[in-house]
A and B are shown apart, each in its own frame.
Chain A
């Protein structure tokens, strides 16, 4: 596990490179794209574990923080969505260079899945795994606003007069929200050689996406019945470790890849 900063000196990105174990080195690296907000906090351990297990199968892995999140430079209010796509591009390039791999595949969780699929138009992605994906910016907002509706606005969760959606301690600023709303996976099939959609949610969003994509030749949908409520937050910051999904993703990468 090698933590480091990469990218431009003006906006350094924080990443952790996980080199593959032993002699088994694949020619394919795996880039992990994070979820957002408390979902990112809650998934940090799961991503570390996923990286370690992929290493054991010979894959070099890079996980990183987008600009304005985690340890990377910047504040969210200064970030536009295109910056995140540029960050994904920079991270993929970093992984190619550091691990000396021929191809880069991507795992994206929640908003990270939406970002990965969106970035695939411009970033060269071999295989794409979408884990509990946010299927569109509009659906993401619907999800969060539905929770605000149930619980009522509070000092923590509300939309302020500038249009910033505050949710469990993280802000989504108005320009960012608007840009997100322009992305909808149901109308934009990602560009990748293989696509895995793995879901712990048997909900309308995932079904809607699976229905639209089901006839694509390179698409696989897998529902796994484990807890996957990423938006829930407890008062102690407990984290979620859906082991069967992590194992499924590692197996999917391992079975389909040549050493």
Chain B
């Protein structure tokens, strides 16, 4: 395994790190690893580095890069929204790899805003053959409401808090982070708004119909929208995934992946899925 860093393009110049296997098979797809939010290309808890190196050791070329203005990439001129600029920039990296290495198929990976970018590019780019998303768009189902509100209905503490709130005696405790003025904090400029469910269902169908396989991993950080195994499938019952979807939910895992054991396992799961989906003749999960 060898790593090199290149700047792809001039305006903006995207800082990209390639983790290359000893023997590169250009018939296998390369994996592109995206930023999540404003975190730079090493990924939360360095997980993008771990995944890229693991993939390279298993014969897959992996590229982690910063979108314009994030991490070590220069800022883009103009005011293209992230949904569009990300697609252009992903294509910039794919074009580079196609021209320099002859790779014509790609699997893309992203967490949160990176998952959204993976969804957007897979809708429009025929070179994508797989997407790996952590905490992608998901929607509440009737079962979500039952699981969310059911236990609360029989919890006396909840009723007590409601009563206190009604009589104006409830205290709101602020976390430390909330006390920091906005001027000293930089949060992702990309405001994550879930598109209407029907729109995403249509997009997912389009992706599947383009022979793209999907590996969707959800964390406990998405409790506000996902709270049981199989919810993703329930939320998109109208999508024919044609056996190309693998969805998993890890309630004990938080959104920035700090869980010690799962931090080790996730890269393994991802590399295994990539291997299973790297043979052009193989069927999906």
Contact = CB atoms under 8 A, between A and B. Distances in A.
Nearest to B178: A234
Interface residues of B, number: 43
A223 interface: no
A70 interface: yes
Pairs A-B, 10 closest by C-beta atoms: A169-B258, A169-B45, A156-B258, A227-B180, A238-B187, A237-B39, A3-B5, A234-B177, A227-B184, A3-B15
A3 B8 CA distance: 12
A229 B180 CA distance: 9
A241 interface: yes
A169 B46 CA distance: 9
Contact of B185 (A71, A158, A169, A239): A239
Contact of B37 (A155, A166, A169, A237): A237
Contacts of B260: 155-156, 158, 160, 166, 171
A101 interface: no
A235 B255 contact: yes
Interface stretch (A40-48, A135-143, A212-220, A247-255): A40-48
Contacts of B181: 227
Nearest to A158: B260
A1 B72 contact: yes
A240 B184 contact: yes
Given A169-B257, A237-B38, 14 more contacts: A12-B3, A14-B5, A41-B42, A71-B49, A73-B3, A155-B252, A160-B260, A169-B45, A169-B258, A170-B46, A227-B184, A235-B255, A240-B184, A242-B184
A40 B70 CA distance: 15
Interface of A: 1, 3-5, 12, 14, 16, 41, 44-45, 48, 69-71, 73, 155-158, 160, 166, 168-171, 226-227, 229, 232-243
Given A4-B5, A235-B255, A237-B44, A45 B186 contact: yes
Contact of A155 (B42, B44, B112, B259): B259
B86 to A, nearest CB: 17
A70 B46 contact: yes
A241 B185 contact: yes
A5 B252 contact: no
B256 A45 contact: no
Contacts of B44: 41, 169, 237
B72 A3 contact: yes
B74 interface: yes
Interface in B77-116: 112
Given A166-B260, A169-B44, A227-B180, A156 B254 contact: yes
7 contacts: A71-B42, A156-B260, A157-B258, A169-B258, A232-B176, A234-B177, A236-B256
B4 interface: yes
Contacts of A170: 45-46
Residue with the highest number of chain A CB atoms closer than 10 Å, among B7, B184, B259:
B184
B188 interface: yes
Given A44-B40, A71-B42, A238 B261 contact: no
Given A70-B42, A70-B46, A239 B186 contact: yes
B36 interface: yes
Contact of B176 (A12, A157, A229, A235): A229
B196 to A, nearest CB: 23
Contacts of B256: 169, 233, 235-237
Given A5-B3, A232-B176, A241 B39 contact: no
B72 A48 contact: yes
A156 B263 CA distance: 10
A22 to B, nearest CB: 18
Contacts of A237: 36-39, 44, 188, 256
A167 to B, nearest CB: 9
B184 A241 contact: yes
B202 to A, nearest CB: 28
B203 interface: no
Contacts of B41: 71
Contacts of A44: 39-40, 71
Contacts of A1: 15, 72, 74
Contacts of B5: 3-5, 14, 71
B142 to A, nearest CB: 26
Contacts of A157: 258
A69 B46 contact: yes
B183 to A, nearest CB: 7
Contacts of B176: 229, 232
B92 to A, nearest CB: 16
A126 to B, nearest CB: 26
Contacts of B177: 232, 234, 238
Contacts of B122: none
B17 interface: yes
A158 B260 CA distance: 9
A14 B17 CA distance: 10
